[in-house]
Structure 1
Amino acid sequence: MCLLENVRKTIDNHKLLTKGDKVLVSVSGGPDSLALLHILHRLQQDYDLSLYVFHLDHMFRGEESKADAEYVKLFAERLEIPVNIREYDVPTYIKENNLSKQAAAREIRYQLCVELANDIGADKIALGQHADDQAETVMINFLRGAGLEGLSGINPIRDDRFIRPLLEVWRKDIDNYCEEYNLQPRLDSSNFKPVYLRNKIRLELLPYLEDEFNEGIKENLNRMAEIIRVENDFLESYVVKEYKQILANESQNKLSLYLESLKDLDLAIQRRVLRKAISSFCGTKKDYYFHHIQQIEELINVGKTGSIIQLPQGLRVKRGYEKLIFFWQETQPKTKSISQIYSIPGKYQIEDLGIEVILKVIIAGPNWRQVIREEDKLYINKDRIGNRIKIRNRKDGDRFRPLGMQGSKKIKDFMIDEKIPVELRDRMPIFTTLDDEIFAIDDLRVDNRFRITDKTKEILTVQVNRI
C-alpha cells in the first residue's frame, strides 16, 4: 500500500478529519511536515478541506532559520495554500524561564499555533509525528518510569483538535515519498547529534536493540502503545464515572472528594481519580508525579484529620472529616478579627464572616414550646440579653455551657466534636452579651444559661445565612 493510502487509512480509522474541516498544518520545513502538507493537499478535494500553513522561526540558527521560513513560504505558495510565518526569540525565552531548548521551542510553538488556529477558526491542527517518533516516545516514557498513559505514547488525535495523520507510517517511507515527489526538505543538523535524550534513543539505543536483541523493536513498541492506548481509554472512561460519584464540590479555589468513597476504591482506580482531580483543579498534570500521588494516598490512609500536604505550584491537599480537599495556598487568607455590636431586632450582613444574621423578637407566652419549631433558627431567652448583642469570631480560651450538657466546654473542643473544618472555625459567629457572655455558637448550639424557661417573657430568634 502506498504512503498516501496508508495516511488515508489512518485518517479514516481514527476519524481524524470530517468533511469540510479547516486544517492548520504546522510545517517546520523538514521531511515529515513537508510530506504531511503535500499529502493533505492531495487529499484536499476528497475531504473538502481548507488548508492553512503555520511556521515558527525559533531564531536558533540565524540565517539558516530564516532560510527555512522562506522555503516553507515558497512551498506553501506553490501549492496555493495560505501561510503564516511567525518569529519568536526562543533563546531569550529559555534564559528567562529556565527551560530546555526542546521544551521551550515546543511550548512557544504550541502557544502560537493555537492562537493562529483560533484566529482563523481552524477545526484541526495537523502535526507531523510518525511511527518512529511513536517508538522513541514510548521508549523515553519507559525509561522515565511512566504508567499506562505514558506507555500509550502519542495519540493519533488529542482534544478532538490535534491530529497526527502520519503516526502509522515510518520515517524511511516518508523520506522515499519526499524523494519521489522531489520535495527537497530542509534538514536540521542538530537532529543528527546524540545530545538530547530523544536523539540518543533514535541514533544509539534503538539501533543497538535492533542489532543485538530484536530487529522489530520499533514495530513492537508501536503495537504495545496501541494495545495500551485502547485499554487505557477504557479505564479512563470508567474513572470518569467514578470521579463524578466521588466529587463533592468544585470551584475555582477548592475541590473536594468524598473521603470514604475514595478509600473504598481499588488502588488502581483511586490513583487515577486523584490524577483526574489534580488535572481538573489545576488545568494540567504537569509537575505532578507518581510520588505526589503516593503522598496523597498516605494522607488518605494514615493522615490525621486536619493534616495538610504541600504539592508543587502552591497546591495543597487537606484531609477533612469527611472530605479530601484540594486548594491553593494563596486562597486561604487568615480571617479578619471582628467584634461588632448590633441592635435587636435587625438584619445584618457581616461580609468578613461571609454571613447574614437575622434577629427577631417574639413573645413567649404559655405555649412557647409550640413556637420554637423551626430547625434553621436558634431560640434564646432574650430577658437575659437586653436590646443589643455583640457578634465576634472566636478567641483563645473561649468557653460556654452547651445546652443539654453538664458543665462548660472550650469552643475549640466543641468545634472539633462537631467536625467543623479548621479553615471555617474563625468564620463562625460567636454571639455574646455586651459583657461578652457567650449565649450561642453560630446556628449550632445555645448556651444552657440562656435557655428558654416557663418564666421567659421574650424570645430572641437567631437565623444565620451564608452569603
Structure 2
Amino acid sequence: MSFIKENSMFDEGDKVIVAVSGGPDSTCLLYILNELKDKLGIILIGAHLNHCLRGEESDKDEEYAKKTCESLNIAFYSNKVDIHKVSRERNLSCEMAGREVRYNFFEELIIKLNANKVALAHNANDQAETILMRIMRGTGIEGMVGIKPVRDKIYVRPILKLSRKEIEKYNSTNNINPRIDKSNLENIYARNKVRLELIPYMEENFNKDIIKTLNRLSNIVKKDNDFLKIVSEKEYEKHCEISQQRVIINKSAFSLHEAILSRIIRGALLAVNHNLYNFEEIHVLSIIELQKHDTGKNIMLPKNIIVENCYGDIHIHICVKESEANDNLYYLNINEENIIHSLNKVVKIDVIPKLKSTEFTGTDYIKYFDYDQIKEPIILRHRKDGDKFMPLGMNGNKKIKDLFIDLKIPKSQRNEIPLICFGDDISWVVGYRVSEKFKVSKDTKNVLQIRIGREE
C-alpha cells in the first residue's frame, strides 16, 4: 500500500484494467488489488490476452483467468491472437510481437471501457533481470533505472517491490493455485537464461541478495536520472522549436554538456517518432557529428527519420519527398475573399483610402501596398527558376533563391512559400519580405491591403 501511495498510482474512482495471465505474479496482483480496492476507491476489470503459443495450455490459462475474475466478482475481457503469425507478418521476435499486441489490446480496452489505468504484475525479480540484460547491452543511466513503477500516468506496477519468493508465499498462504507456464522454465530465451542460470549463479557465488542489490541500484540511479531529466527538459524547451513532425535544435544547444545534449536529441527523436525503439547511442553521436559539418549535409536514421544541418541548426523530421514546384497561377480579385482550396488558403484583398493618421506596418501575413503603383493581374504563385525581386530597403534586385539562402529557409520548404505578384513583379514573399517597388509612401493615395490565412 505504501509503495502504491508513494508513486501516486491511483486516484479515487479510477477504473483499473488488471492484466491477468493466470500465472503466479498476475494472480497475486489481482488478489492484492481486490483486497485494497475499497481503500483505494478503485474499480477493477480483468483482462487476458491469449497468445496461442502453447495450444491447449494457453486456452486453459484463459479459462483460469476468467474463472478467477468471476470468483472475485470482477468483470473480465479477453482476446485471442496468434502471436506466431503476427511475428512472421511483422518480422518481429515473438517477444516483441506479443508485447505490441498486448499493449494494443490494453489501449482498445481503455477506450472501450473508459478506463484510467492498466495494472501490470512486474516484480523485483523482473526488475533485476531487466537491469542485468540492459547492462549487458551497454545501457546508460536511464536504462539502469529499469522498469518504472508508473509509465505515461497509465501503466502502473503495484507489486514491483515484491520478490518472486514473496509472491509465491502470498499465493501459498491464501490458497491461490495459479497456472504455471512451463516455457518460463526453459532456457531458450535470453531472459530465461538470466532468470534460470545467471542470477542463481550470482546468488551462489557473489551475492545471495543480488535481487535486492540490483533493485537498490535502480533506486540510486533513478535519483540522478530524475535530476538530469529536469535539467535537460528545461534546456530542451529553451533550445528546441517544435512543429508538426519536425523539431529544430538550435545550434546553441550543442555547446551544452554532452549528458544534457544527448537527452535533448533523444527528446527530439521521441517528439518526431513517438518512441525510441531502434535508436541507439551511435545515432545520437552521428547527429552531434553532423552539426559540426557544413550546412546542407544530412543523415538518415531508422524509421525514415532524416536529420539535416541547416546553417548549424539541426532539423529532425520524417523524410518526405521535397515538394515539386507548383506551376499553377492563382488569379486574385480585389475586394473579394479569394479561396484557394488546393492550397488551403484564403486571400482577402481590399482597397482602402490612405488617411494621414493611419500607419501601415502590417504583420507577417497582412501587408499594405501602394495601390496606384500596381499592375494587374494580381497573382499568387510559387517560385520558379530565375525569379528576382527588390526587397524593401534595397535599390537593386535580388534572386529569390539567394533570399531563401540568406533567410536560412530549408530546401524542403522553399517550393511551398507563396509569392504575391502584381503583373510580372513579385511584390511579397509571403511570411518574409515585401518589395521596395510598391511600398506605401507619403505620396500614396490608395492602399491595397492583402491578408493571407488558412481556409477554415
Q: TM-score, normalised by structure 2?
A: 0.84
Unaligned stretches of 5+ residues in structure 1:
1-7
The alpha-carbon deviation at position 315 of structure 1 amounts to 2.5
Q: How does 1:318-357 map to 2 (within 5 A)?
A: 318-321=308-311, 324-330=314-320, 333-340=323-330, 348-350=338-340
Contact 1:53 1:83 in 2 (8 A): yes
Q: Residue 145 and residue 452 in structure 1: after superposition, are their counterparts in 2 closer, same or farther (change >3 A)? A: same
Q: Distance in 2 between matches of 1:11 and 1:346?
A: 63
The alpha-carbon deviation at position 113 of structure 1 amounts to 2.7
Match of 1:133 in 2: 126
Q: Distance in 2 between matches of 1:345 and 1:57?
A: 66
Match of 2:198 in 1: 205
Match of 1:216 in 2: 209
Q: Residue 431 and residue 110 in structure 1: after superposition, are their counterparts in 2 closer, same or farther (change >3 A)? A: closer
The alpha-carbon deviation at position 225 of structure 1 amounts to 0.7
Q: Which moved more, 1:339-348 or 1:211-220?
A: 339-348
Match of 2:55 in 1: 62
Match of 2:287 in 1: 296
1:266 paired with 2:257, answer yes
Match of 2:71 in 1: 78
Q: Residue 294 and residue 428 in structure 1: after superposition, are their counterparts in 2 closer, same or farther (change >3 A)? A: same
The alpha-carbon deviation at position 37 of structure 1 amounts to 2.0
Whichever residue aligns with residue 39 of structure 1, its letter is I
Unaligned stretches of 5+ residues in structure 2:
none
Deviation string 1:154-187 (CA, Å, 9 cap, x unpaired) is 1122222322222112112222332333322211
Match of 1:255 in 2: 247
> How high is the sequence identity, in percent, across the aligned residues?
35
1:282 paired with 2:269, answer no
Q: Which moved more, 1:127-136 or 1:103-112?
A: 103-112
Match of 1:5 in 2: none
Q: Distance in 2 between matches of 1:402 and 1:17?
A: 60
Contact 2:325 2:383 in 1 (8 A): no
The alpha-carbon deviation at position 133 of structure 1 amounts to 0.7
Contact 1:129 1:167 in 2 (8 A): yes
Whichever residue aligns with residue 268 of structure 2, its letter is A
Q: What SS is found at the alignment partner of 2:308?
A: strand
Whichever residue aligns with residue 396 of structure 1, its letter is D
The alpha-carbon deviation at position 222 of structure 1 amounts to 1.0
Deviation string 1:353-409 (CA, Å, 9 cap, x unpaired) is 666556667899xx99x99953554646956x6443555322223345556656654
Match of 2:406 in 1: 417
Match of 1:310 in 2: 300
Whichever residue aligns with residue 407 of structure 2, its letter is E
Contact 1:378 1:445 in 2 (8 A): no
One of 6, 22, 36 as aligned partner of 2:15: 22
Deviation string 1:266-286 (CA, Å, 9 cap, x unpaired) is 322222122222223332222
The alpha-carbon deviation at position 335 of structure 1 amounts to 4.2
How many residue pairs end up in the alignment? 450
Q: What SS is found at the alignment partner of 1:173?
A: helix
Whichever residue aligns with residue 410 of structure 2, its letter is P
Contact 1:363 1:457 in 2 (8 A): no
User: Root-mean-square deviation (CA), in Å?
Assistant: 3.5
Query: Rg larger in 1 or in 2?
Result: 1
Match of 1:229 in 2: 222
Q: Which moved more, 1:318-327 or 1:81-90?
A: 318-327
1:52 paired with 2:45, answer yes
Q: Distance in 2 between matches of 1:379 and 1:124?
A: 58
Q: What SS is found at the alignment partner of 2:223?
A: helix
Q: Distance in 1 between matches of 2:100 and 2:113?
A: 20
Q: Residue 307 and residue 112 in structure 1: after superposition, are their counterparts in 2 closer, same or farther (change >3 A)? A: same
Whichever residue aligns with residue 246 of structure 2, its letter is K
Contact 1:353 1:427 in 2 (8 A): no
Q: Which moved more, 1:310-319 or 1:400-409?
A: 400-409
Contact 2:368 2:439 in 1 (8 A): no
